[in-house]
């Protein structure tokens, strides 16, 4: 008796699910172009990752090429390059994280406190560089640094009687230039999230603090920063998850692909690009690419795990 009931129940359920499915057919059709694109753009390339374990032969194709085991990785890590690109990628990212976070919070705090309407203008001005393409940024930097015509050599150093600097061949300046350009580009973007968080804080805290005679500085230190802490931690963790990736435009375009600067401008992304399209060294390039994908994946997962421990709401999954 009970068996027939459950059987009828499952039948009913199956029928229901079928009608549900039928009802959803138009929805599946709507999802189709998007899923097809993800398939083409994101999933179809994945089998190509085996290239990192192969001796690539253009005539035999990716899957026909002979296996090379781990020898591509052995070669990669035997070179100085592997160390340099990993170091550059990580160190630049650390510098960006620290500087971007500190400057973004400082600007957000100031903007939140300013009462005048001009603050809207300030915000627009500092956000604008974010919309400038990497190619045009390289033009802007070139206008300042060009050896023959550059603003710095001609209008600053020359009047001071200092010999012009050949910026695009002198390594020692580039870590600073790249960090500066990155801050210039992203400060407006980075401060927006902090600003919107600060604007959402309860005004009551500040009112009672100023009644108690707390100075502006004390209010910032004792109220704003502690309240911002969760946001700061989240954003920094998210950033750490991406520490193995770099802004290709910044590291490739801004130094104008200058060979003399590679040891301080080469990151994993630029290395993979050059290997594939300039040097034709596909095996090395794909080994470095897989290295980035796998370590990057582990870092994203771990960063998210930590975020989830701290605050489930903000976790990606």
Partner 1 sequence: MKTREDKIFQFTGHIIMIILSACALIPLVLLVISSFTDNNTLIRNGYSFLPEKISFYAYEYIFTSGNSVIRAYGISILLTALGTCFSLVITTMLAYTISKRYLPGKGMLTFLVFFTMLFNGGLVPTYMNYTHTFGLKNTFWGLLIPGLLMNGFNVLLMKSYFVTGVPDEILEAAYIDGASEFKSFYKVALPLAKPVVATIGLFSGIAYWNDWQNGYIYLTKRTDLYSIQNLLNRMIQNIQFLTQNATNITNANVGLASIPSVSVRMAMAVVGILPVIIIYPLVQNNFVKGITLGGVKG
Q: Given the complex with partner 1, which of 70 and 156 has the nearer CB atom?
A: 156
Q: What is the 3-state secondary structure (H, E, C) of the chain?
A: CHHHHHHHHHHHHHHHHHHHHHHHHHHHHHHHHHHHHHHHHHHCCHHHHHHHHEECCCCCHHHHCEECCCHHHHHHHHCHHHHHHHHHHHHHHHHHHHHHHHHHHHHHHHHHHCCCCCHHHHHHHHHHHHHCCHHHHHHHHHHHHCCCCCHHHHHHHCCCCCCCCCHHHCHHHHHHHHHHHHHHHHHHHHHHHHHHHHHCCCHHHHHHHHHCCCCHHHHHHHHHHHHHHHHHHHHHHHHHHCCCCCCHHHHHCCCCCCHHHHHHHCCHHHHHHHHHHHCCCHHHHHHHHHHHHHHHHHHHHHHHHHHHHHCHHHCCC
* 129: phi then psi, degrees, rounded to nearest 5: -55, -25
Shortest CB 3 distance to partner 1, Å: 27
Choice between 2 and 22, CB closer to partner 1? 22
Q: Least distance to partner 1 from the beta carbon of 9, Å?
A: 18
Indicate the residue among 67 and 317 with the shorter CB distance to partner 1. Answer: 317
CB of 49 to partner 1, least distance (A): 6
- Cβ nearer to partner 1, comparing 88 with 129: 129
**Shortest reach from residue 115's CB to partner 1, in Å:** 7
Non-local CB neighbours of 137 within 8 Å, separated by 6+ positions: 129, 181, 185, 249, 250, 253, 254
Cβ 57 to partner 1 shortest distance, Å:
13
Write down the least CB distance from residue 6 to partner 1, Å: 21
Smaller CB separation from partner 1, 3 or 64: 64
Q: Which is nearer to partner 1, 45 or 161 (CB)?
A: 45
| Residue whose CB is less far from partner 1, 4 or 141 | 141
CB of 90 to partner 1, least distance (A): 17
Smallest distance from partner 1 to CB 288, Å: 9
Q: What does the alpha-carbon distance between residue 301 and residue 33 come to, in Å, rounded to a whole number?
A: 28
Nearer to partner 1 among residue 174 and residue 273 (C-beta) = 273
């Amino acid at each position: 008796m009970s068996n027939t009931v459950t059987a009828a129940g499952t039948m009913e359920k199956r029928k229901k699910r079928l009608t549900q499915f039928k009802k959803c057919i138009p929805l599946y059709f709507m999802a189709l172009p998007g899923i097809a694109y993800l398939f083409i753009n994101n999933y179809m390339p994945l089998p190509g990752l085996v290239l990192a374990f192969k001796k690539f032969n253009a005539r035999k194709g990716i899957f026909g090429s002979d296996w090379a085991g781990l020898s591509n990785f052995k070669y990669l890590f035997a070179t100085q390059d592997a160390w340099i690109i990993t170091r550059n990628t990580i160190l630049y990212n650390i510098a960006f994280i620290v500087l971007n976070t500190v400057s973004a919070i400082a600007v957000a705090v100031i903007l939140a406190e300013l009462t005048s309407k001009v603050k809207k203008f300030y915000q627009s001005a500092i956000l604008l560089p974010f919309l400038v393409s990497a190619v045009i940024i390289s033009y802007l930097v070139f206008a300042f640094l060009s050896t023959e015509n550059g603003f710095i050599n001609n209008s600053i150093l020359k009047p001071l009687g200092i010999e012009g600097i050949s910026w695009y061949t002198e390594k020692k300046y580039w870590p600073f230039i790249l960090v500066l350009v990155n801050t210039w580009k992203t400060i407006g973007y980075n401060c927006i999230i902090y600003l919107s968080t600060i604007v959402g804080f309860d005004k009551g805290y500040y009112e009672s603090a100023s009644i108690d005679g707390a100075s502006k500085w004390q209010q910032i230190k004792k109220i704003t920063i502690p309240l911002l802490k969760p946001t700061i931690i989240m954003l920094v963790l998210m950033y750490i998850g991406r520490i193995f990736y770099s802004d290709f435009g910044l590291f490739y375009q801004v130094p104008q692909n200058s060979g003399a600067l590679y040891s301080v401008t080469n990151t994993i992304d630029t290395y993979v690009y050059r290997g594939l399209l300039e040097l034709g060294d596909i095996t090395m390039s794909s080994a470095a690419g897989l290295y980035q994908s796998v370590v990057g994946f582990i870092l994203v997962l771990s960063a998210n795990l930590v975020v989830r421990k701290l605050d489930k709401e903000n976790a990606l999954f």
